[in-house]
Structure 1
Amino acid sequence: MPSAKTPVPAVPSSESGAQQPTGAAEGKRTPPARRTTLRDVALALGVSVATVSNAYNRPDQLSPDLRERVFEQAAALGYTGPDPLARSLRRGRTQVIGVLYDAPLAYAFADPAASLFLGGVAHALQDVGLSLLLLSGRSEAAPAGDAARSASVDGFISYATAHGSPLLDAALTRNLPTVLVDHPLQSGQAGAAPVPETDYPIIGINDTDGARLAAEHLLALGHTSIGVLGLPLRADGRAGLVTPERERRATNTHILARLQGYRAAVRGSSSSSLPTYEVADNTPEGGQNAAHALLTASPDITALLCMSDVLAQGALAAAAALGLSVPEDLSLIGFDDIPSSAALNLTTVGQPTAQKGEQAGRALLALLAGQTPPNVLLPTTLVVRGSTGSKGGSSE
């Protein structure tokens, strides 16, 4: 009689019906593939590890041909180069410069003057292999100073930040090389410098003198009823007529310097009242709304001093909406001389904004090299075009 066969136990199956590998059933995992290293690239090429390292870190030590061979072999092996964070820790440098910007981040790309400035900074840094990191102090996602506190940078360029700005204050606590741009100098500017002049190099213009040029031009044309479209005196989003108390509490000291320059020019003249309407943001819409409000409230105004060409462009739109001809009924003068102002035939106060950025970049490079760069005060010029004319007449 044949013996009974021993039953074979069933093999459990997965939901998909596929048999699980033995290792998986026992909880084992396939080890990850080993990461390719500098040594692997060196062995494949038959060169030293130092040679491969130099290809990435000290390219001047290798011929272009050898460096290219290293990169080709690295690509073939899937090696992507040294870890950037580890490399920056070893060097003590990140090769990145932070630009402190108190306006919303997107505005840096919409404001022609800011774009010119950043282009100038980039021009100074690009030839030495440094990069820019734009740090905004106006984000709803984080406290104002966080961007400066956490940024991995070698130094800061502070662009027109207000006195007491949390962004600037946070940056200064880092004790990194820092250049201040558009902060009043202790000589030749109205207002006090936010930090001692000897502590940080300052790059800028004499805002007071530039504004005085603009006001004197209108006075020479016979204007006695003049208004001002002002940039924000504080970074609080307020728009409206500037009161003496508001002026006393100003934190944007370079803006205050312009207002005081206008006042210095008209002091003693019949136009000494100088009503000023402050905008919340430097936009054409802000300029149009401010000009409309000021001209409606004071219809006797025959000329407007605009603290930026962007505001002046808005004022042109407001004048057209009110049926006023420029310059026959209303003279307009801006500030900055951005590229579009020539096409609009706008009289303005010109400043070398791109050169200002380049000077700031070079000053920071000097600090990184252990040098002490001087303060730089760049000139302003009156650029007379067709938007200003004699009171009740045409342009001259």
Structure 2
Amino acid sequence: MRRPATLASLAAELGVSRTTVSNAYNRPDQLSVQLRNRVLETARRMGYPGPDPVARSLRTRQARAVGLLLTEELSFAFSDPAALGFLEGLAGACENAGQGLLLMPASRRNSDVTTVHQASVDGFVVYSVPEQDPHLRAVLERPLPTVVADQPMNVPGVDRVGVDDRGGMLAMAAHLVELGHRRIGVICMRLNNTPADGLADLDRQRTAGYSVQRERLTGLREGFASAGVDWTEVPVVQRFDHTLESGASAAADLLDAHSDLTALVCTSDVLALGALRLAGERGWSVPEKLTITGFDGVPEAIGAGLTTVRQPVREKGRIAGELLLSRGDRTEPKSVILPTELVIGRTSGTATPPTRWFSGL
């Protein structure tokens, strides 16, 4: 059986040094075009696969890869539209820098941080994790540059990129107040990492471990306070799972329990699209009898004509990658807060006198 070719045997076959062979792969500018082509052609003929990337990373102390930490299942990065947009922007930044991207799902139901400790990466982008998350602590224990996207906020010494969540919801509240809405219900994403659905009281809102949700609720509270709305009278329902089904079930719970609501304000487009689906199934007229709004500005929501707050998810991913890859010797952390935009679609209208909502109609 023929032994596989090695860097040494390839160099001997060509009559050149091992450094010359290595340069053909790693530093092609050091060789003439003719010599590099001869090295690569001989390598193909001999079945030499190229330098061992693990050995190369040990020599250079560079993995040439960025680790993206998701405290969700891996499928979340490809199914959640906002996460998918962020991933696209981050991947583009890595591609432009000649870096790879390692997706590191760390289930919220599992506190094992071995994946973080063993990851062969040059730095981490941490995407939207709760405060006190064990995987985030494991990241911070490693002496590698780190960028937090969205949350948590104010991690000492760590760069962050996020959006103006509070300002976005202030603008949404002002829009709804102008339309005459005073009786609203709110559907929000999970506030903490403990699985729980149902009403979120004021204490749970204030102590939310997910600061993005806390900021969005704060923006709504402040915006409606200007119109004299008592926030203690505003029902807020949270859903742990971020799905269309969750949005639909939360909308049903709210309207079955509160017959006088004229608007449902959702802290994400996915939840709002679920509420819209339920409205269609029950024959509710949107926005004539019920206004529904979202947050994120994902393509599916814009296509459905949803009134929402658009955030630049792809730009956020791109900036996260660029902050990490261009940090160099900088020691002071940077914080980049991107603006949001109120997009008025077909799902918000003037408040009308409430009619009773019947679950079967």
TM-score category (smaller protein) = over 0.9
Higher-helix-fraction structure = 2
Q: In structure 2, what is the Cα distance between the partners aligned to 1:98 and 1:184?
A: 17
2:129 counterpart residue number: 161
**Could you tell me how far apart the structure 2 residues matched to 1:183 and 1:143 are?**
18
2:321 is aligned to 361
Output the CA distance in 1 between the equivalents of 2:112 and 2:201. 27
Alignment match, 2:216: 258
Aligned position for 1:304: 264
- SS in structure 1 at match of 2:326: helix
Query: Which residue does 1:246 correspond to in 2?
Result: 204
Q: Which amino acid in structure 2 is aligned with residue 287 of structure 1?
A: G
- Which residue identity does 1:266 align to in structure 2? F
1:314 partnered with 2:274: yes
3-state SS of 1:100 partner: strand
Question: Which runs of structure 2 are paired with 1:216-255 in the superposition (5 Å)?
Answer: 216-255=174-213
Paired position in structure 2 for 1:67: 36
- Letter of the 1:157 partner, please give it: V
- Structure with more relative contact order (C-alpha pairs < 8 Å, separation 6 or more): 2
Q: Decide whether the 8 Å contact of 1:263 with 1:274 is kept in 2.
A: no
1:81 corresponds to = 50
CA distance in 2, matches of 1:248, 1:339: 31
TM-superposed deviation, 1:128? 2.0
- C-alpha separation between the residues in 1 aligned to 2:33 and 2:188? 55
Which of 79, 95, 104 matches 2:73? 104
The aligned residue for residue 271 of structure 1 is 229
Gapped regions of structure 2 (runs ≥ 5): 354-361
- TM-aligned CA deviation for residue 158 of structure 1: 0.8
Greater mean alpha carbon deviation, residues 244-253 or residues 80-89: 244-253
| Larger displacement relative to structure 2 (66-75 or 272-281) | 66-75
Measure how far apart 1:206 and its partner are: 1.5
2:289 is matched with: 329
Tell me by how many angstroms 1:264 deviates.
0.7
1:280 matched to 2:249? The reply is no
User: In 2, distance between residues paired with 1:69 and 1:227?
Assistant: 70
Matched residue pairs, number? 350
Unaligned runs of 5+ in 1: 1-31, 186-192
Q: Secondary structure at the match of 1:105?
A: coil
- In structure 2, the partner of 1:371 is 330
When residues 37 and 232 of structure 1 are mapped into structure 2, their CA distance, relative to the original with a 3 A threshold, is same
How many Å separate the matches in 2 of 1:265 and 1:274?
A: 13
Q: Does 1:202 align with 2:171?
A: no
Deviations 1:87-125 (CA, angstroms, capped at 9, x unpaired): 111010111111111122111110010010011001111
**TM-score, normalising length: structure 1:** 0.84
Q: Which amino acid aligns with 2:125?
A: I
1:342 maps to 302
Cα deviation for residue 201 of structure 1 reads: 1.1
Alignment partners' CA distance in 1, 2:34 and 2:134: 50
Identical amino acids, percent of aligned pairs: 44
Deviations 1:298-350 (A, max 9, x none): 12111111111111100101212332111001111111111122220111101
Radius of gyration: which is bigger? 1
Question: Given the alignment, which residue of 104, 128, 143 partners 1:175?
Answer: 143
Distance 2:213 2:71 in 1: 14
* Code of the aligned partner of 1:247: Q
Deviations 1:337-379 (A, max 9, x none): 1112222011110110000000000000122x22356311100
Matched residues in 2 for 1:382 and 1:355: separation? 17
Q: Distance in 1 between matches of 2:15 and 2:106?
A: 51
**Cα deviation per residue 1:109-168 (whole Å; 9 max; x = unaligned)?**
10010010011001111022211111122176x634222122111110011111001111
Report if aligned partners of 1:146, 1:167 keep a CA contact under 8 Å in 2.
no
- Aligned partner of 1:389 among 339, 349, 360: 349
Distance 1:164 1:139, change over 3 A: closer
Residue equivalent to 2:356 = none
